[in-house]
Amino acid sequence: MQAEQGANAKGGEAGTRSVHFILKGRVQGVGMRVWAKRTAERLDLRGWIRNLPDGRVEVCAEGPVDAMQRFRQLLRVGPRLARVNELTDRGPAVELPDEGFEIR
């Protein structure tokens, strides 16, 4: 579980990747969840995002390898008001919905 490790967890289907990220910094109260949901939907990913009580944000997603790499790059920047200081890869995604991207 190393910061900036990259999305290297394998997904359930060939050509897909599954990731579980933790975002740290100014990531709550800046529109991160809505922005990430819209971004994930544009990239045709399934998964979820939620705020954690300690001020971090947790993201689990799965989709085509190229789209997942792009999602990671975009999460590292976030919406205009966000400041992502750390993006940690926690391994494969957990508890993915059957389809779509949810705000939890």
Q: How many CB atoms lie within 10 A of CB 70?
A: 17
Domains, the chain: 16-96 (3.30.70.100)
Report whether 88 contacts 2 (CB < 8 A): yes
Catalytic residue from among 26, 38, 42, 51 = 51
Distance CA 33, CA 60 (A): 12
pLDDT in tens, the chain (104 residues): 333 334 344 445 569 999 999 999 999 999 999 999 999 999 999 999 999 999 999 999 999 999 999 999 999 999 999 999 999 999 998 899 999 999 99
Residue burial 23-56, b: 16+ Cβ < 10 Å; e: rest: bbbebbebebbebbbebbeebebbbbbebeeeeb
51 is an active site residue: yes
Catalytic residue from among 17, 33, 46, 72 = 33
Q: What's the whole-model pTM score? A: 0.84
